[in-house]
Structure 1
C-alpha cells in the first residue's frame, strides 16, 4: 500500500490545528468535530499515518482544512507575508551595500568578539585539533572563470557566454582572473559595486553546506536524547566527527535506529561522495533559476522550474503541498496557503543560500530575492527564516564581517514583533550566556519542543543562530553544535556549514576529515547536475553573483 507522505488530508488536519494555535487562531470547535468523527493526531516523526482514513473522514478533513484557513487570528498583523509590510516592520532594514571598511563600526571583524568558551563538555570553540592539517579539495585544471566548466549542466553551457560577452561568442577569461591557483582572490564586482566572493570562498560554502548536511543525515528525526546516546556510545561526544555504527550497542540501535534512508550513505564507514539530499537539490535548482531568469526572476518562474526539473518525489512538506497545488491549477502565492499546514516549516530556509551568495554585501537584495522564492510554498515565519538566512550569507560574503555581525544583519530583515525575531534574540542571548552548549540546547528544547514540530522554522533557525554564535563561526564547532542540537539535523547542519564555510574563505580552511569523504562529487536528481564537483558549483555561483 502506497501512503504518500505530507499530502494525505487526514494527516494534515492535526498539523493545521497546531499551526492555528501558533498563529493565535482558536481551533477548539473544529478540533472537537475532528476528534468526534474519529480523527487522530498527526504522525510524530513520519510524514503519513500507517493506515488510510475512511472516505468520509478524508472528505471531512478537506472541509476542516478550509475552515481552519478561514479562522481569524491576531498574528496576521505582526507577522505579514507581503514584502512591503515586512519591510515596514523592520526598523533596521538594511540600506546600501556593506562594503569593507565602509559599513557601520559594529559590523567590522575588529568588533569585540564573543568570549572563548571552554568546558569539559564541549572543549575549545575552535573545533580543529592543533595537530590536524586541513587540505583543500580543488582539483588541478579547473577552467578559468569566464567559461562554463566542462561538467556544467547544459543550461549553463548554453547561457553563460551570452551573459558574459553579450553576443554568444566564446567567453574570455576576465582580466585579473587566472587559473585555479588564483581562485582565492575576490571575484569580479557584483552589480552595485560590492566584490563577489572568489570561487574558493564559494566552494568552501558549498562544501560546508554538504558536510553539515551529511553530518546530520543519519540522526534526522531522532529525539535529542537518542542523538546524544548514539554519539556517546562511540566516544564521539561532544560531537567532533561523522556518526558511526561501529561500537554502538545493539539495544541502543534498536531504541534509536539510524535514519533508514540515509544510514547506508552517511555513516563514517560508508560515505562515498555526497549523497542526494533536498538540502542540496534546492540550491541546485536555484542556480538553474538564476541562470535562466536572472535575479529578477518571478515566483511563477520558480514554479515552472519546479514542474520542469524537480521530481515530485524529491519535494517534501510545504514544497510537496505547493507542488500538488500547482498541479491542481492554483497560482502562486496561493500555493503556499491552500491546505498547507507546513507553510512555516524549514523548507524555504534551505533554499536561501544561493540568494545570499549571489548578492554579496547587499542583504536587502538577498532578502528580497529569498522572499520571491519562499512565497511559492511558505508564509510569515517560514518566509522570514529564508530572508534571515539569505541576508546573513550576503553579509558573510563580504569577507569583512565576523559571524556575530552577520547574524545581526540577518536579524534586521525579520519583523521585530514576530515569533522568529523573539526566537533569534533568545537563542543568541542564551548562547552567549552559557559555556556548555548542551545547556543552550536544553534551554531551546524546553522553550520550543512542546509547541513546535521538529521541522518548524522557528526552533531550527534559532538553533542555527545559537550554534554559530556559540562556536564563534568556527566551522567544526558550528556544524557539530547545530547537529548535536537535534530537530532537523541535516538542514541545520547544512545552513550552519554554509555560513561557517563562507566565513572560512577557502576549502583549505575546512578540516580534511570532513571534506575528503565527499570526493568532490554530489549526487542529485536535478537534471544535468548529478556527479558535479563542488569546485564547478562554486564557479557557476560566481558567474551568477557577477552577472550584470
Structure 2
C-alpha cells in the first residue's frame, strides 16, 4: 500500500474512533433507543476513553522494548505496570495476573465478564499494524484478547481486527464483515449474532425493526456483552451505507455500550474513507491525545497525529511471537454450606470447595428452601475495603455476624465499580480473618444459584488478590 495513503487511513482510524467514542460516552450503559444526531453535550476536547487508552499503552510498551515483540506476556506485563482501571474483566484479569495466573487463563479463569467488550475495543492497533493482512491482524489480536477474555469476548477482538485490516484495502462493508467472520468459529454465538443482524437488515432495513429484533434476542444483564453490541455495530454499519454521521449515530442510538459501538464504527469508516469524516465532528474534539487518569507510567504522543506516525513506524518492525502453552490450577474458595427450609437452623453443614470466586451451587434447590454459605476472607492490612456478594437471587449478607446488606432478586454485574444496589458494602476492617455469610433465597425454579464473591481495596476498587480463603 502507498505509504501516504496508509498513514492517512491510520489517522482516519483514530480520529473516527475518538469521534464515535466522544459521541457515545454520555449515554454509555443507557437503554435505547436514543435520538442523537450530534454530540450532546458538545465537547471542547475528545472524551478520554479506555477504547483508545489501552491501545496507546500497548503501542508505547511494544515500541519501547529493544525488540518490538507482540505476545500475551508482554501485554500482561503492561496491564500490571500501566493500567489502574478497576472495571469488570480488566480488574479480574489484573487480579489473576497478580495471583500468578498467566494468559490465556488470566482471561478465562473465574471471570464473569469473559464476553464483555473490553478487548473488542482494542482491535484497531492490530489492524493498523497489519493493514490488508486479516490473518496476521487476527493472530495479533488473539495475543491481546486472551489476557482478559475468553470465548465470544475473545473472538470479538479477533473478528474486528481482521475486519478492520481488510478495510485498508476493501471498500465494501459486507465484504469486510465476511472477512472478519472467517477468522472466528462458525458455531460461536458472536458469529450467529452478526449473521442475525445481516439477515434482519435484509428483511427490513429500518432502525426500529432492527432494534426490536436485536433486543428481543440478545438483550443482556451486562450492557457490555459482545453478543448484543456486535449485532448493534453491524446494524449501524449497514443502515449507514457508508455515511459516517448516520452510521455512528445509528450505532449509538441502539443504546448499550454506546461509547464502544460508536468508537468502533467510527474507526472502521475512518479506515475505509478518512476523507468521509465531516469537519463538524472533528472541530470540537481537536487533535490532542487525551488519556484517562487510570493510565500511568507512560508518556503518550501529544497528538493523535503523532500517535498515527508511531503506529506507521512500528508496522515495519513488530514481531509476532506467541507464547508457549502454560499449565494452570484453579485457586479454590472454601465455604461451609447448608440447604434448609426457611427459618430452620437444624440442618447439618457441609464443607464445599468452589473453583473460584465466580461459582454455582451444583444442584437445584428444593422448592422454598434457602442456601446458606459461610465464606472466610483475610485482610492483611487494616483499612477501608469493599466486600461484594453479587447474585441474581434474593440474598441476605452478614459480615462478622452483622447485617451488611440485603436485596430482592435482580441483575448481576459483579464489578466493584458498578455492582447493583445492595450487593456490596464499604467497611473498615482490622487485619486478620473475617466471615461472610450469604443466605440465598427465592431461587428461580429450575435454576441453580450462582454468585460472585470478593474483596476490593476501598481506594482503588481493585480486587484484593487471594482474599478469599
The verdict on how the C-alpha distance between 1:363 and 1:441 changes in structure 2, with shifts beyond 3 A counting, is same
Q: Is the alpha carbon distance of 1:422 and 1:511 closer, same or farther for their aligned partners in structure 2, counting shifts above 3 Å?
A: same
Question: Which residue of structure 2 aligns with residue 375 of structure 1?
Answer: 146
Structure 1 pair 543–315 and aligned structure 2 pair: CA distance change class (3 A) = farther
Residue 478 of structure 1 corresponds to which residue in structure 2? 247
Partner of 1:419 in structure 2?
189
Q: What's the secondary structure of 2:30's corresponding residue?
A: coil
Residues 210, 362 of structure 1: alpha-carbon distance in 2 compared, 3 angstrom cutoff: same
**Comparing both structures, which one devotes a greater share of its residues to helix?**
1
Aligned to 1:518, what secondary structure does the other structure show?
Answer: coil
1:14-62 Cα shifts (integer Å, max 9, x gaps): xxxxxxxxxxxxxxxxxxxxxxxxxxxxxxxxxxxxxxxxxxxxxxxxx
Aligned 8 A contact 2:145 2:157 in 1: yes
Residue matched to 2:78? 305
Q: Is the 8 A contact 1:523 1:531 kept in 2?
A: no
Equivalence for 1:272:
44
Structure 1 stretches of at least 4 aligned residues deviating more than 3 Å after TM superposition: 292-296, 525-531
C-alpha displacement of 1:546: 2.7
Q: How does 1:421-436 map to 2 (within 5 A)?
A: 421-436=191-206
Q: Does 1:494 align with 2:263?
A: yes
Q: Kindly indicate whether the alpha-carbon contact (under 8 Å) linking 1:395 and 1:409 is maintained by their aligned counterparts in 2.
A: yes
* Per-residue deviation, residues 87-111 of structure 1 (Å, max 9, x unmatched): xxxxxxxxxxxx8xxxxxxxxxxxx
What pairs up with 1:40-439 in 2 under 5 angstroms?
186-187=2-3, 197-225=5-33, 228=34, 237=35, 239-243=36-40, 267-268=41-42, 271-292=43-64, 296-310=69-83, 312=84, 314-398=85-169, 400-439=170-209
CA deviations 1:448-496 (Å, max 9, x no partner) are: 11x4521111111121112112212321122111100111000111110
Query: Is residue 275–residue 522 contact of structure 1 (8 Å, CA) maintained in 2?
Result: no
Deviation (angstroms), 1:315: 4.6
Deviates more, 1:458-467 or 1:486-495: 458-467
In structure 1, the gaps of 5 or more residues are 1-98, 100-185, 189-196, 229-236, 244-266
Q: Secondary structure at the match of 2:284?
A: helix
Counterpart secondary structure, 2:283: helix
Larger strand fraction of residues: 2
Stretches of structure 2 that go unaligned for 5 or more consecutive residues are 319-469
Residues 369-419 of structure 1, C-alpha deviations (whole Å, 9 max, x = no match) = 100110011111011100000000100012x43222111111111100111
Find the residue that maps to 1:276 and give its secondary structure: coil
CA distance in 2 between partners of 1:462 and 1:377 (Å) = 22
How big is the shift at 1:531? 7.4
| Structure 1 match to 2:235 | 466
1:496 to 1:515, Cα distance in 2 relative to 1, 3 A = same
In structure 2, distance between residues paired with 1:332 and 1:424: 27
Contact 2:25 2:259 in 1 (8 A): yes
Give the aligned partner of residue 505 of structure 1: 274
Which structure carries more relative contact order (alpha carbon 8 Å, separation 6+)? 1
SS in 1 for 2:242: coil
Aligned to 2:212: 442
Question: Could you tell me how far apart the structure 1 residues matched to 2:305 and 2:175 are?
Answer: 28
The alignment status of 1:539 with 2:315, answered yes or no, reads: no
* Contact 2:56–2:300 (CA under 8 A) maintained in structure 1: no
Quote how far apart the aligned CAs of 1:222 are: 1.3
Distance 2:44 2:267 in 1: 21
TM-score (norm 2): 0.64
Q: Is the 8 A contact 2:31 2:255 kept in 1?
A: yes
- CA distance in 2 between partners of 1:281 and 1:298 (Å): 19
Distance of 1:421 and 1:432 partners within structure 2: 17
The alpha-carbon deviation at position 296 of structure 1 amounts to 4.2
Deviation at 1:528, TM superposition (A): 4.2
Matches of 2:173 and 2:3, distance apart in 1: 21
Q: Distance in 2 between matches of 1:448 and 1:302?
A: 31
The 1:528–1:292 alpha-carbon spacing in structure 2 relative to 1, beyond 3 Å, is closer
Q: For residues 547 and 315 of structure 1, what CA distance do their matches in structure 2 show? A: 33
Find the aligned partners of 2:311 and 2:243 in 1 and give their Cα distance.
23
Note if contact 2:237-2:265 (Cα within 8 Å) is conserved in structure 1: yes
Structure-2 separation of matches of 1:412 and 1:339: 29
Partner SS state of residue 274, structure 1: coil
Task: Tell me, in whole angstroms, the C-alpha distance in 2 between the residues paired with 1:331 and 1:412.
Answer: 28
User: Contact between 2:126 and 2:140, CA under 8 Å: does it hold in 1?
Assistant: yes
Q: Provide TM-score, normalisation by structure 1.
A: 0.55
- What is the DSSP-based 3-state SS (H/G/I as helix, E as strand, rest coil) of the residue aligned with 1:415? coil
Q: Give me the whole-angstrom Cα distance separating, in 2, the residues matched to 1:406 and 1:529.
A: 34
Q: Distance in 2 between matches of 1:414 and 1:477?
A: 28
